[in-house]
Amino acid sequence: MARSTLPDIEIPGQTLYELLFGELDDADLDRVALIDGPSGDETTYRALIAQIDSLAGALAARGLAVGDRVGILCPNIPAFATVFHGVLRAGGTATTVNTLYTRDEIAAQLSGAGASWLFTISPLLPQAEAAAADAGIPADRLVVIDGAPGHPSLRDLLFDRAAPPEVDFDPATHLAVLPYSSGTTGHPKGVMLTHRNLVANVLQCEQIIPLERDDRVLAVLPFFHIYGMSVLLDFALLKRAALVTMPRFDLADFLGTVATQRCTWLFIAPPIAVALAKHPLVAESDLSSVKVVFSGAAPLDRALATAVAERLGCTVCQGYGMTETSPVTHVIPVGRDDVDRSSIGFALPNTECRVVDPESGRDVKVPRRGRGPSAPGELLIRGPQVMSGYLHDDEATARTIEPDGWLHTGDIATVDSAGVYTIVDRLKELIKYKGYQVAPAVLEAVLLAHPLIADAAVIGVPDDDGQEVPKAFVVRRAQDAGTTGTGLDEESVMAWVAERVAPHEKVRLVEFVDLIPKSSSGKILRKDLRARRGRHAAL
């Protein structure tokens, strides 16, 4: 067991609103908090806080009680910050929904989380309306931020001019957010994160990520995912930096926005690093304002990190974390050029780590100085950023968090004598496609519903750029076996899945097999499937 090499910090008993917006002086209030990338429209901290307070007041006046759950299905626009922090300010719990989700996926999350309100934007209204109906959310509680007939708009709520409510809850136990994650296995589950979890994580980040007031931070990573939520929407605002929002990733827009807005920090996931390293458009763009590119959410290759650093003339760093840890647990400090870019750096303050051999259950030995990394083992985390559990799923909670607080990450890591951790493999079944979670169990259920499929398993394999993509192994039904053309082929399998899941969850490779390897208890032996393809074994 190892504590962080950094000194512990005190975690105050504040709400997230109190921490972020409790103490701004006039100079801070006049600073720009948010810039809408496409239009360049600016929102000051003063305006943002006024909107957050008004929205909290309106929600309370319209019946939102402390602890009520509110869905947010919205891309990165400045109003996301108002809605998110307004809901938390009123004592509500925000369940942020992936904007790519199908109507059924949205409905499952809203129902699972028990949401009684939903905020969305008019282009997403068809799926939002259908999902809200399934989840029993009435039309007057489906707020369409930019307005739509039959629904309140954000403007309507702000025009109530209601004073923010006096709310009373314990930040240590009150749920601030319920993002969804499939964790180590199965379908997505509500991750219960308290105000204390989020407050702790932004303060932990502050010790190791040197973002400053004058920084201009590109916010293209979705706020609905924990990385964008904590690191951008919470941490960058705590630092009084300016967030430049982009509703979707498009390379030309991305490069244009960085150049126009003179962004200094880019928080990205590895597929964007691939584009930055390789795409010809990058050579034509003015990226001279960029000081730091910070990658997370999936493994960053060392050569890729070097290529980006050289091409942009900036520092490339990496962070690691998961929804269940609010999310950040490890970061490469900006000034430490001696630290390997393919590592995840050091544990944050107040964060304890173990690397445990999954076979023996024993902690691996940390080698002495100069002896290289330890043997690999599962990374376990304990700290104030660890979730309180999965919503309505005691079994998954018990499987993931030990009684004494250690959280199983499902990732395989090594550690060296200096306390530098490196993720070398994944024990859990989760797939990361462009940094998004893809749960094999979800895709396997969709595949098994096909009348011509007898059995199926899905794993992640690397594409030509080294990025992970979902691949299905499929066993045809007996009557179809051996037939070609008439029955099941790769395209029809991919199309079947594509019609039923969000775009990032599509199966992108298919291989027909005679049998899915399984253990005696019926668990899919994913390692055996990975081993079928030698060059994929190291993912």
- Nearest-CB residue to ligand 4UU? 296
CB of 303 to ligand 4UU, least distance (A): 15
Rounded to an integer, what distance in angstroms lies between the CA atom of residue 263 and that of residue 243? Answer: 9
Among 154, 244, 344, 442, binds ligand 4UU (CB under 6 A): 344
CB of 426 to ligand 4UU, least distance (A): 5
Contact criterion met (CB below 8 Å) for 182 and 105: no
- Interface with ligand 4UU, residue 322, by CB under 6 A: yes
CB of 267 to ligand 4UU, least distance (A): 8
- Interface with ligand 4UU, residue 109, by CB under 6 A: no
Contact criterion met (CB below 8 Å) for 111 and 135: yes
Got the DSSP string for 76-135?
S-HHHHHHHHHHHHTT-EEEE--TT--HHHHHHHHHHHTEEEEEE-GGGHHHHHHHHHHT
Among 78, 92, 188, 296, binds ligand 4UU (CB under 6 A): 296
Among 89, 151, 341, 426, binds ligand 4UU (CB under 6 A): 426
- Interface with ligand 4UU, residue 349, by CB under 6 A: no
Contact set for ligand 4UU, span 217-236 (CB under 6 A) = 226-227, 231
What is the total count of residues that contact ligand 4UU (CB under 6 A)? 25
Q: Which one, 48 or 328, has the nearer CB to ligand 4UU?
A: 328
Among 327, 345, 349, 373, binds ligand 4UU (CB under 6 A): 327
Rounded to an integer, what distance in angstroms lies between the CA atom of residue 172 and that of residue 360? Answer: 35
Contact criterion met (CB below 8 Å) for 446 and 501: yes
Interface map 131-170 toward ligand 4UU (x if CB under 6 A):
----------------------------------------
Residue 113 gets the label, from left (phi > 0), alpha (psi -120 to 50) or beta, of alpha
- Residue in this structure with the two tokens 């968090």, named with its chain if needed: 401
- Interface with ligand 4UU, residue 385, by CB under 6 A: no
Nearest to 16 by CA among 234, 178, 274: 234
Q: Which one, 74 or 430, has the nearer CB to ligand 4UU?
A: 430
Rounded to an integer, what distance in angstroms lies between the CA atom of residue 19 and that of residue 230? Answer: 13
Rounded to an integer, what distance in angstroms lies between the CA atom of residue 290 and that of residue 287? Answer: 6
> Which of 115-123, 240-248, 327-335, 465-473 is the region at the interface with ligand 4UU (rule: CB under 6 A)?
327-335
CA dihedral in degrees (262, 264, 267, 271; nearest 10)?
A: 60
CB of 199 to ligand 4UU, least distance (A): 16
Structure tokens at 265: 């920090």
Contact set for ligand 4UU, span 391-420 (CB under 6 A) = 409-411
> Which of 74-82, 115-123, 313-321, 369-377 is the region at the interface with ligand 4UU (rule: CB under 6 A)?
313-321
Helix or strand holding residue 378 (H, E): strand 377-382
- Interface with ligand 4UU, residue 4, by CB under 6 A: no
Contact criterion met (CB below 8 Å) for 372 and 415: no
Which residues on adjacent β-strands are paired with residue 356?
363, 378
Q: Which one, 189 or 476, has the nearer CB to ligand 4UU?
A: 189
- Interface with ligand 4UU, residue 460, by CB under 6 A: no
Among 178, 423, 443, 516, binds ligand 4UU (CB under 6 A): 423
Contact criterion met (CB below 8 Å) for 476 and 454: yes
Nearest to 330 by CA among 367, 303, 359, 294: 294
- Interface with ligand 4UU, residue 298, by CB under 6 A: yes
CB of 423 to ligand 4UU, least distance (A): 4
Contact criterion met (CB below 8 Å) for 168 and 66: yes
Interface map 51-80 toward ligand 4UU (x if CB under 6 A):
------------------------------
- Interface with ligand 4UU, residue 98, by CB under 6 A: no
CB of 264 to ligand 4UU, least distance (A): 17
Interface map 168-187 toward ligand 4UU (x if CB under 6 A):
-------------x------
Nearest to 59 by CA among 84, 79, 23: 84
Rounded to an integer, what distance in angstroms lies between the CA atom of residue 237 and that of residue 161? Answer: 24
Helix or strand holding residue 302 (H, E): helix 302-312
- Residue in this structure with the two tokens 């895709």, named with its chain if needed: 443
The upper half-sphere exposure of residue 376, i.e. CA atoms within 13 Å in the direction of its Cβ, equals 11
CB of 48 to ligand 4UU, least distance (A): 23
Residue ranges binding ligand 4UU (CB under 6 A) = 181, 226-227, 231, 296-299, 318-323, 327-328, 331, 344, 409-411, 423, 426, 432, 437
